[in-house]
Amino acid sequence: MAEVKDQRHPQYTKDRQIVNDLLPQSAPSNRDYADLARLIVRYKGFVGARDIQADLIKVLNNWQLTEEALFTKTRAIHEVGKVYIAQDEGQDDWA
pLDDT digits (tens, 9 = 90+) for 18-50: 999 999 999 999 999 999 999 999 999 999 999
Domain count, the chain: 1
Would 7 be classed as within a structural domain? no
Mean per-residue pLDDT of the chain: 89
Would 1 be classed as within a structural domain? no
Whole-model pTM over 0.85? no
Domain span at residue 37 reads: 33-81
Amino acid at 6: D
Would 95 be classed as within a structural domain? no
- pLDDT at residue 16 in the model: 97
Would 42 be classed as within a structural domain? yes
Would 23 be classed as within a structural domain? no
- CA 95 to CA 88: how far, in whole Å? 14
Residue 39 and residue 56 in contact, taking contact as beta carbons nearer than 8 Å: yes
- pLDDT at residue 83 in the model: 78
Would 92 be classed as within a structural domain? no
Would 73 be classed as within a structural domain? yes
